[in-house]
Structure 1
Amino acid sequence: MHSQAEDQPQPDTATAADEVLPQVVVQGASLTGATEGSNSYTKGAMGTATGLNLSVRDTPQSVSIVTRQRIEDQAMITVADALGGTIGISVKPVDRGRNQLSARGFDITNFQFDGIPMATGNIGIETGNTAMYDRIEVVRGATGLLGGAGDPSAAVNLVRKHADSKVFTGSVSAQLGSWKQRTGTVDLSTPLNQDGSVRGRFVASIGKQDAFIDLEHTDNKVFYGVVDADLGKSTRLSVGLSDQRDERNGVLWAGLPYWYTDGSRTDWDTAKTTATRWNQWDTHEQTAFINLQHTLANRWTLRADISHHRQNEDSKLLWVWGDPDRATGLGLQGLPYHYISDPKQTQVSASASGPFQLFGRNHELNVGLTHSRLTEGWSNRDLVGDMAPLPDFNHWDGSYPEPAMGPRYQGSRGTTEQSGLYGAARLQFTDALKAIVGGRVSNWQRDEEAAAWTASAYQIDHKRVFTPYAGLVYDLAPQTSAYASYTDQFKPQTNRDRNGAYLDPLEGKSYEAGLKGEFLDGKLNASAAVFRTEQSNFAVADVGFFVPGTTNPAFRTAQGVTVKGYEMEVNGDLARNWNVSLGWTHFSAKDADGVDVAVDHARKQLKLFTKYTLQGDLSGLSFGGGVNWEGDRPASATNPATGATEKVGQGAYALVDVMARYAFDNKLSLQLNVSNLTDKKYRSGSYWWGAPYTYGQPRKVLLTMDYRF
């Protein structure tokens, strides 16, 4: 979706009159500016925010990069693990399959693969294995310039590994961990012809494990392959496939009851589950992609991408809800679901990026076209007859009988098409002042078919929706800058007004200002920012009016949510052998009436992880540790016995993680990770639909043996 010439521009040494333009090249051996092998917790440049190859310091939004080194140091096995360690991001499990991801009070719905937007299904992209990724880039705030429709929360860009090596190289690792975790991973790179101009890379990870929750067992398999070919000195072609299967048995769906019938609160063992022995939740996710980059003689880079993403979700689950009697454990209700979904998305994009000269100064421009088509829907089977009463939940062992189910029916089905024309420019007004300006024009259309949950087919169509982008960066000193930005994002909605027309899209406007620093020759990035996000066109009931020809209540638009807050972050290397990632965020999120929203997410977060590698006689020994602290969550609910509104959000808590690694030589290493060192018991999940919740993971021990060659 954007050109990623990640190499840093060379410093200007000429005068304004005969200034030499910075060199822009196709990376050749480093298509994506890989962090792999850098031993660093930061990266020099990224294009996730604007498509321009900007340093972290010159990007006028809050950005975070989880490098390959940090992924390995903290044993971040899934994308959700990595996001959970990213400042400003909140990851709250809904159950043992789904997660609620949030930033700045809004759900995160914008994901990218190598800068190409992709939709996520009911079980999201965040459950994916990190074995195939070089790094994860996050831009907080509205990101509509490249992403189009979505929420003004954050964009998450998953940057794949590539075949950069012209010699045979690779690694083999084995992991043993708590709850019978066993995982083996192979990562191989090799030249495919004599001069190494065509190279291949293959990653496979196969694992199985139980869980800290009773009954649950998961088998997972991940395969990823890519071929990178240099088609001459100026052209590079990348073709790849990925395939991930997760088979979950005895898996918890929804959560645990929060209240007893007498109004007191439950306090289950962390292993407690509502799952049955016949529960299953299987997913199969496949992605294919082609990327072509070519550098012209004028140092402009042309890029074209086509990708296809498919996810299949097949589940057989029991939903349990209600308030049990404290003494007897009776009183819960259940409903089975046999849910299948199969979202498919195809994305095509083309872009051109490069330098130009105007008024004696160097500038950069990126322009592009994108088109995506997403087809999604779900089917289900309903219960036949009556459910057998649920037994005493105090002694639940999952042996509840599987009920009879009726024929499969289509619950919903629809197609979303989105196309966009975008452009962004980095304008160098003076030696110290630069502007990043741009915009996007989008066409968005949803065609919903008639189905069991859709009474009649309908179409929502928004044309020529303009999304602006504006930022200023001013260099205060050689290593520090001040910046300010305005970004925008729209999100279509399905509610209709009293005239039968669909409401205008939600519009999220993000304002941000801050300071950024780049120290130690770019090895350490620091930032501090204040932000404000306003979401307008929020749907509220138009009391007394109905959609013409229906009994459906009509809606009107109103001012929606306002989010205000600040963030501070430091990422990188304090010294040659000392890595650090440190961040703090604090925000408020309220609706037009001043009522808290996004109440399942803490308003304050502190995230720290640091690692030091010893030298001298203790060379090869590394120690690391950190803490993730978050404040209270402002959720409240009605007590079923008293009718009073009570605070139910998880209170403040801290999780401590530690690691140690010993490298026997430059090939073989042994690493120990202990997460939640103090074995803190806490509720990690969202409070939703009758107040179920899930517990967070207790203390976990993971041992990794890694051999590289």
Structure 2
Amino acid sequence: MSCSRPSFLPFNVLSSSAHRAAMATLLLSCPLAAQAQDNAAQSDTIVVTATALKVAAPLAETPRSVSSVSREALDKRNVQSLDESFRYRSGVLSGHYGADNNTNWFKVRGFDQATYLDGLRLYRTGYYQWLPETYGLERVEVFKGPASILYGEAPSGGIVNAVSKRPTEEAQGEIEIQVGNREHRQFAFDTSGPATESGDIRYRMVGLYKERDGDLDGTYNKRYYFAPSLEWDISDDTQLTVLASFQKDDGVPVNPFKLAYGTVQDTPFGKVDPETNYGAPDYDKDEHTQTAIGYEFKHQLDDTWKFEQDLRYSKLDLDLRSTYMDFATGDGRTAYRGHLQRNGEIDSFTVDNRMVGKWYTERTENTLLVGVDYQDLSLDGKEFDDFTYDIVDIFDPDTSITPVPDSALTGRKIDKQQLGLYVQDQLRIDDSWVLLGAVRYDNADVRSESKRYDVVVDETQSAVSWSGGVMYLGDNGLNPYLSYTESFQPVAQLSATGAGFDDIEGEQWELGTKYAPTGWDGYVTAAVFDIKESNSFATTAGGYQTQEGERTATGFEIEGVGYLTQSLQLTAAYTYTDARDKNDNRAALIPRHMASAWLDYDFTGSTLNGLNVGAGIRHVGESVDGSITVPDYTVADAMASYAFDNNWTAQVNVNNLTDKEYVASCDFWCYYGESRSVIGSLSYQW
């Protein structure tokens, strides 16, 4: 038997303190009789995560589909926004709405997803969007498919979990400056280490200032970010980690909405320039401030049981004025513009309590998780919507607009409380079989009040979610598995007529395998999946959201990350997704085929010591929107970095290397893909 089988996750993604915790967890996962002989033989490539099961476990031995992107990979590709993270992973579509500067957009296996930070939900209601700063993250993970069993309400696509940087046991730091096209400017710092001589208290401070123009004329964003954290080993059995962050964004929003007419369809006047802005940059604004503070508490009660509690309070303030293209007037030259405003705040409180028990017999090890979580969301604001505010020339737009008086804004409130109870048991037999079963009960009370429609909707929705899985652990590192998961999502928003929406439910069957053989620094995973969602949302001909019954997605994914030689690493992924609406027609936005590959070569030990180069290619197949077909596209990315010594490193990243012009997708509106991005970085590390 072996308990040191390498995980299929990317390598060396853990900080020193996290690596120590991972090793401890790994030891607990081995039969007790074998621990002594294995203590000195743990592999440095073992990486564990708690996203899939809420208990630390090697994902190569978990019968659920999760992909992870490490800090090293985020740095190498100079990821600027959360939705760039998974460009070289399977099952995740991003960039389909172009280069938006105030929202992160994902589709996972053909469906929407929920965003989490450090395992706790980030509330994204309407235009109130929480934007995690990628420089402050240690890694990003995606749980693919329904995930209500551990995380409560969740869309059918799954969850994206951003993991914050944590204090480190060893003193370290970085100062970085960046410049690039589109007036990109950035200054960032990251310092961490022990705060006491004994090292029982550790700190980390991460900060950033960034400004950059958007892809559309007259748009931009400025960001201030600061994230302090503190980790305290209260005793050998007790640890407290405090995490806080402050972020302020100020700019003019990018509204990439364009018509099919002039993008994927020809006109007598030619095509619309991708940089054309139908907004009002002298009037539009996006002032966005988000603040959070919370903690993670862990206490080992005895040799069997451990108590864990995660808690966070967050506040988001938004003042948004946004003008956008709506629909054509019919004269072949002009179109209506819509205008919206949001001015309000979201207060949210989330707490998750868990008891984790581990015990062993001669042939088995058992991990029992029992938890209760509570989520409280309150939105209080004012809003304005006019879908035919004025008329604009499609090919030569006038970007001025008549201001909206404050008296035209109407009140809007949402209050939501959700209580969840869950139980999960993972049984490992003979170091060869993993059996997983879980059940969860959710009760959500949603009250939505709109002064605009003079309506109050107060509903209580509840659901029971089930999950199960089985995996065989092969001696050769090949681990096939079968799993079933469900999701439940209460909907707080109102329809265009002021009515409430039904809750959305999803279920998934998945059959796959994970391959992470001993002695190879890499992994390969493959899976087929089948997802069904009830009460799905769709965009109507008027641009409104409505529920239109069942939606399905079936598909196949394969991805791998590994070293082909000591210097050459390959990251590759392929996704096939057949997403269909209630009428069995292809769903809008979702391509059937996506493929990507990234090669990275490290010249360490050669005459070019210090040089690292990488290049990638991303292909997205054609998609549809009713009778409209959006052509496929392929773009290339590249990077080169040079370490002058142990402290100084220079790097250049280019995305969309050839500055290819393409339409990324259509869903009533059509969206040009992001233009070429060139960013140079210089960092000093110690």
What range is the shorter-chain TM-score in? 0.7 to 0.9
Residues 1:587 and 2:577 aligned together: yes
The corresponding residue for 2:673 is 696
State whether residues 192 and 198 of structure 1, in contact with CA within 8 Å, keep that contact through their aligned partners in structure 2.
yes
SS in 2 for 1:477: coil
Of the three residues 614, 621, 631, the one matched with 1:624 is 614
Instruction: Quote the residue 2:176 is aligned against.
Output: 173
Letter paired with 2:22? E
**Partner of residue 658 from structure 2, selected from 661, 678, 685:** 678
Distance 1:458 1:577, change over 3 A: same
Task: Tell whether 2:107 aligns with 1:102.
Answer: yes
Query: How has the CA–CA distance of structure 1 residues 132 and 388 changed in structure 2, closer, same or farther, with 3 Å as cutoff?
Result: closer
8 Å CA contact retained: 2:382, 2:411:
yes
Q: Tell me the C-alpha RMSD between the 2 structures.
A: 3.3
**Corresponding residue of 2:13:** none
CA-CA distance at 1:54 after TM superposition: 2.1
Does residue 158 of the first structure (1) align with residue 178 of the second (2)?
Answer: no
| Structure 2 counterpart SS, 1:69 | helix
Of 208, 211, 215, 1:212 maps to 215
Q: Is the 8 A contact 2:272 2:395 kept in 1?
A: no
SS at match of 1:394: coil
Alignment of 1:638-653 (within 5 A): 646-647=627-628, 649-653=629-633
Paired residues of 1:12 and 1:19 also in contact (CA < 8 A): no
Amino acid in structure 1 at the alignment position of 2:276: K
Does 1:530 pair with 2:532? no
The change in CA–CA distance for 1:616 and 1:253 in structure 2 (over 3 A counts) is closer
CA 1:51–1:570 in structure 2 vs 1: closer, same or farther (change >3 Å)?
A: same
SS at match of 2:22: coil
Deviates more, 1:365-374 or 1:207-216: 207-216
Hey, what does 1:456 align to over in structure 2?
A: 455
Match of residue 182 from structure 1 = 185
Alignment deviations for residues 540-559 of structure 1 (CA, whole Å, 9 cap, x no partner):
9xxxxxxxxxxxxxx9x997
Residues 118 and 380 of structure 1: CA distance in aligned 2, closer, same or farther (over 3 Å): closer
Distance 1:393 1:59 in 2: 52
- Give the direction of change, closer, same or farther, for the CA distance of 1:310–1:121 in structure 2 (3 Å limit): farther
Aligned equivalents of 2:214 and 2:29: distance in 1?
56
Report if aligned partners of 1:483, 1:515 keep a CA contact under 8 Å in 2.
yes
Residue matched to 2:517: 519
Q: Aligned pair in 2 of structure 1 residues 298, 58: CA closer, same or farther (>3 Å)?
A: same
Give the equivalent residue in structure 2 for 1:440.
440
Question: How far 1:155 sits from its partner (Å)?
Answer: 1.1
Choose from 554, 557, 562 the match for 1:567: 557
Deviation at 1:269, TM superposition (A): 2.0
Q: In 2, Cα distance between the equivalents of 1:23 and 1:111?
A: 41
CA contact (8 A) 1:79 1:126 kept: no
Matched with 1:6 is 22
1:384-403 aligned at under 5 Å gives the runs 390=392, 392-396=393-397, 398=399, 400-403=400-403
Q: 1:457 to 1:402 in 2, by over 3 A?
A: closer
Q: TM-score, normalised by structure 1?
A: 0.84
Q: Could you tell me how far 1:140 is from its partner in structure 2?
A: 0.4
Please report how far the alpha carbon of residue 126 of structure 1 lies from its aligned counterpart in structure 2 after TM superposition.
7.2
Question: Do the aligned partners of 1:288 and 1:309 also contact (CA within 8 Å) in 2?
Answer: yes
Aligned-partner residue type, residue 413 of structure 2: R
Offset, 1:467 = 1.0
The farther-off stretch of 401-410 and 424-433 is 401-410
1:315-359: CA deviation from partner (whole Å, max 9, x where unpaired): 122233333799xx8523334333224222100111122311357
Aligned to 2:70: 67
Identify if the C-alpha distance between structure 1 residues 618 and 124 changes in structure 2 by more than 3 Å, giving closer, same or farther: farther
Give the counterpart letter for 2:426 in structure 1.
Answer: R
Where does 1:285-324 land on structure 2 (aligned, <5 Å)?
285-323=290-328
Superposed displacement of residue 119, structure 1: 1.9
What is the letter of the counterpart of residue 510 of structure 2?
E
Is the contact between residue 512 and residue 532 of structure 1 (CA under 8 Å) also seen in structure 2?
yes
Q: Distance in 2 between matches of 1:54 and 1:152?
A: 24
1:367 corresponds in structure 2 to: 370
C-alpha change, 1:596 and 1:13, in structure 2 (3 Å) is closer
Counterpart position of 1:488: 486
Closer/same/farther in 2, CA of residues 285 and 97 from structure 1, 3 Å limit: same
Q: Are the aligned partners of 1:9 and 1:24 in contact in 2 as well (CA < 8 Å)?
A: no
Q: Distance in 2 between matches of 1:462 and 1:403?
A: 40
Distance 1:288 1:451 in 2: 32
Equivalent residue of 2:75, what SS?
helix
Q: Is the CA contact (8 Å cut-off) linking 1:88 and 1:567 kept in structure 2?
A: yes
Mapped to 2, the partners of 1:567 and 1:382 lie a distance apart of: 40
Deviation for aligned residue 1:609: 1.7
What is aligned with 2:15?
Answer: none
1:664 is aligned to 644
For residue 119 of structure 1, the aligned residue among 116, 123, 129 is 123
1:20-39, aligned counterparts within 5 Å?
Answer: none
- Aligned twin of 1:607: 596
The TM-score normalised by the length of structure 2 is 0.87
SS of the residue corresponding to residue 650 of structure 2 reads strand
CA pair 138-522 structure 1, distance change in 2 beyond 3 A: farther
For residues 377-429 of structure 1, give each alpha carbon's deviation from its aligned partner in whole angstroms, at most 9, with x where no partner exists: 5412478xx96764x4533363x144342415434312111111112121123
Counterpart residue type for residue 662 of structure 2: Y
Q: Note the C-alpha offset of 1:153.
A: 0.7
- Deviation, structure 1 residue 507: 2.5
Q: 1:12 to 1:591 in 2, by over 3 A?
A: closer
Q: Go from structure 1 to structure 2 and tell me whether the alpha carbon gap of 1:123 and 1:506 turns closer, same or farther (over 3 Å shift).
A: closer
Deviates more, 1:59-68 or 1:503-512: 503-512
Equivalent of 2:136, from 123, 132, 139?
132
Partner deviation per Cα, 1:598-621 (whole Å, 9 max, x = no partner):
x11212111222211012221111
Amino acid at match of 2:153: A
Q: Structure 2: how far apart are the matches of 1:180 and 1:349?
A: 42
Report if aligned partners of 1:600, 1:633 keep a CA contact under 8 Å in 2. Answer: yes
Residues 73 and 472 (structure 1 numbering): CA distance in 2 closer, same or farther, change over 3 Å? same
CA–CA distance in 1 between the matches of 2:506 and 2:597? 30
**Structure 1 match to 2:228:** 225
Query: Aligned pair in 2 of structure 1 residues 361, 98: CA closer, same or farther (>3 Å)?
Result: closer
**Quick one: distance in 1 between partners of 2:385 and 2:122?**
31
Which digits, 9 at most, give the CA deviation of each residue in 1:214-244, with x for residues without a partner?
Answer: 1112211111110111112221111121111
How far did 1:124 drift?
6.9
How many correspondences in the alignment?
Answer: 645
Deviation at 1:576, TM superposition (A): 3.8
> Per the alignment, do residues 476 and 387 of structure 1 end up closer, same or farther by CA in structure 2, a change over 3 Å counting?
closer
Q: Is contact 1:9-1:23 (8 Å) kept?
A: no
SS in 2 for 1:634: strand
User: Contact (CA 8 Å) 1:24, 1:354: kept in 2 or not?
Assistant: no
Contact 2:448 2:492 in 1 (8 A): no
Deviation, 1:71, is 0.1
Give yes or no for contact 1:247–1:280 (8 Å, CA) kept in 2: yes
Distance of aligned partners of 1:195 and 1:70 in 2 relative to their CA distance in 1, 3 Å threshold: same
**How far does residue 368 in structure 1 lie from its aligned partner after superposition?**
1.3
Conserved? CA contact 1:587–1:604, under 8 Å:
yes
| Alpha-carbon distance, 1:532 to partner | 0.5
Letter in 2 for 1:424: Q
Q: Is the 8 A contact 1:114 1:157 kept in 2?
A: yes
Percent identity (aligned): 22
Give the corresponding residue for 1:543: none
The 1:48–1:708 alpha-carbon spacing in structure 2 relative to 1, beyond 3 Å, is same
| Residue 508 (structure 1) aligns with | 506
1:133-158 deviations in Å (ceiling 9; x for gaps): 10001110111111212222121111
Larger deviation: 341-350 or 96-105?
A: 96-105
- The structural deviation recorded for 1:208 is 1.4
